[in-house]
Structure 1
Amino acid sequence: MSETPENYKLVIEPKTKLLDLNLKEVWRYRDLLFLFVRRDFVAVYKQTIFGPLWFFVQPILTTIMFMVVFGGIAKMSTDGLPQPIFYLAGIVSWNYFSEALKTTSETFIANAKIFGKVYFPRVISPLSIVVSKLLTFGVQFVLFLIVYFYYVFFTDANINPNVSLLLIPVLILITAGLALGLGLLITALTTKYRDFRFLIAFSVQLAMYATPIIYPLSEIDNENLKMLVLANPMSAIIETFRYAFTGVGEFSWVNLGYSFFTMIVFLLIGTLTFNKVEKTFMDTV
């Protein structure tokens, strides 16, 4: 008796649409997604002396360095906010974006052996990275809240939280979308052009200085330079995050809308490129 597709529980077929993420299939493999999330989250600091404490150590040391170099030596303004609050608000947000982007951009190369042996929706791998880095963000966000509540309740710092706090989930969503979209695009390009592996780490480091993390937007007097900084979609996200918790900074629906629109564009382009390369990447990776 000849076998027909109806005799099988699962039929694997090539994608016919470049924008097809096949979310039903991703949901079917959700257990694998959660397994990858656990692997990515736990394996980072496994067999280290400090273990999970490294999630706190990195932003703490970075904040101290910024306080010494930019706050102490360079005397850069923090818009009247306590330096730990000002710097941590930017560091925590930027860390999530940069770490998710850098790790996602290595999806094809890092998982080539797995991809070549067993079938599962390839997009699960970058999705798991974005989710696992979200857990890391959650841990570091707790650190920010501890420092934040200290200054709110035990000092006379001028901190005024406002209704913009309701936008925090939206800011996280836009950040995740930006990291995923850019990561999908770069990992697809990296399969053929390995230079991107070195370029991405360098570019992310440079991009941090084009984001209002160590300085407030209010300190930029040159309008052309200010527009250049705002061209970075993470700028509006970090400014809004800081404004929501402290009432200090610049909040603009236009700038935030630009960040959201940029996220959509990168997700579309990243998905198109990822789905196209996915079919043949084993020949070039």
Structure 2
Amino acid sequence: MKEREEDWTLVIKPSSGLFDLQLKEVWHYRDLLFLFVKRDFIAAYKQTILGPLWHFIQPIFTTIIFLMVFGKIANIPTDGIQPVLFYMSGITIWNYFASCLTATSNTFVANAGIFGKVYFPRLVMPLSIVISNMVKFLIQFALLVAVIIYFAVNGEAIHFGLSWLIIPLLVIWMALIGLGLGIIISSLTTKYRDFTVLVGFAVQLMMYATPIAYPLSFLKSQSYQWLIVWNPLTPIVEAFRYSLFGNGTFTTSSLFYSLGLTALVLLIGALLFNKVQRTFMDTV
């Protein structure tokens, strides 16, 4: 008797090659992706008293500290931008990058239990982290817009123009470079746990190597300006401030340099992630 052919709804196959990123499969699992987004957002504040209000408290207090240290003590200029708005804008875009990087850099280690029991495209997890952090960014950006409107109502000259339309592209750009660096570190962390400790320290150092608490124009006469200029995050932050306030120091070449490096980081991260996901359960 001829054996009946089974009609399978899903066939799981190993990756056929290093460049087989299974992006189409990620799209098929988009419901799971948004389920993880919801889980991350709810779980972060489920047992807290203030809940999402922490998204407002953190940038407010950080802005106050920056005003005292960099504005009053160090007396660093803010390129003609109202100091509160200058610091809060930098903190808002930086928080998004930092949270994307630190969270995705722990993807394999933090989710080993799930990965070992259930099949789904592993790339879904870091993507869900980036999207859930986008929700947090939008909350902090809403606070920034509210403060901008407050200063505008009180007579402060505020720039409102078509350049605001560029902001979503800059935010996605920042998300992509955070995702790329995060999955590179996540892939390396499966064998070298030192990277888990290193990433928190590195993010703190990167903030001071990015014009968050000072404008790029302030470093024109400094010998170490090249270090800040070659930071791929610098033109994104400066363009973000320019979009908001009409004032920022960047060039077309610096934007193309940052864009090219972002694409390279994403490619390397995707290839490493694809390679490590096949065997990471043996090393985690």
TM-superposed deviation, 1:151: 1.4
**2:82 alignment partner in structure 1:** 82
Structure 1 2/223 Cα, relative in aligned 2: closer, same or farther at 3 Å? farther
> Match for residue 148 of structure 2?
148
- Write the mapping of 1:120-199 to structure 2, written as runs, cut at 5 A: 120-155=120-155, 157-199=156-198
Q: Which residue of 1 aligns with 2:61?
A: 61
Question: For each residue in 1:159-181, what CA deviation from the matched residue of structure 2 results, as whole angstroms up to 9, or x when unmatched?
Answer: 33443322212101111110111
Structure 1 unmatched runs, 5+? none
Hey, what's the Cα distance between the residues in 1 that align with 2:24 and 2:220?
50
Between 40-49 and 160-169, report the one with greater CA deviation: 160-169
Residue of structure 2 equivalent to 1:213: 212
Equivalent in the alignment of 1:30: 30
- Partner secondary structure for residue 233 of structure 1: coil
* AA of the residue aligned to 2:179: L
**Segment of structure 1 superposing worse, 186-195 or 37-46:** 37-46
Aligned AA (2:16): T
Q: Deviations over 1:125-156 (max 9, x none)?
A: 0000000001100000000000111112322x
Instruction: Provide the C-alpha distance between the structure 1 equivalents of 2:3 and 2:123, rounded to a whole number of angstroms.
Output: 33
Amino acid corresponding to residue 188 of structure 1 in structure 2: S
TM-superposed deviation, 1:16: 1.4
CA shift, 1:223, in A, is 6.3
Structure 2: stretches of 5+ with no match in the other structure = none
Runs of 4+ in 1 over 4 A off after TM superposition: 1-4
Q: Name the residue aligned to 1:236.
A: 235
Q: CA RMSD in A?
A: 1.4
**Other-structure match for 1:201:** 200
Shift of 1:2: 4.6
Secondary structure of the equivalent of 1:57?
Answer: helix
- C-alpha distance in 2, partners of 1:149/1:197? 40
Alpha-carbon shift at residue 208 of structure 1 (Å): 0.0
Alignment size in residue pairs: 283
| Structure 1 residues 2-60: Cα deviation after superposition (integer angstroms, max 9, x where no partner) | 576x6311111111122222122112111110110001111112211111100111111
2-side partners of 1:3 and 1:77: how far apart?
77
Q: Is 2:51 the counterpart of 1:51? A: yes
| Percent pairwise identity | 54
Corresponding residue SS for 2:119 = coil
CA contact (8 A) 1:96 1:137 kept: yes
Instruction: Give the match's secondary structure for 1:16.
Output: coil
**1:97-124 Cα deviation digits (max 9, x unpaired):** 0001000000000000000001000000
Letter in 1 for 2:219: I
CA contact (8 A) 1:243 1:251 kept: no
- State the distance in 1 between where 2:273 and 2:3 align: 36
* Aligned twin of 2:251: 252
Q: Give the AA of the match of 2:185.
A: I
Cα shift readout 1:69-115 (whole Å, capped 9, x = no counterpart): 11111111111221110001100000000001000000000000000
**Secondary structure of residue in 2 paired with 1:276:** helix
Deviations 1:200-221 (A, max 9, x none): 1000000000000110011102
3-state DSSP of counterpart to 2:133: helix
Residue 15 (structure 2) aligns with:
15
Alpha carbons of structure 1 residues 107 and 69: separation in structure 2 relative to 1, 3 Å: same
**CA separation in 2, counterparts of 1:168 and 1:209?**
23
Q: Is the 8 A contact 1:81 1:158 kept in 2?
A: no
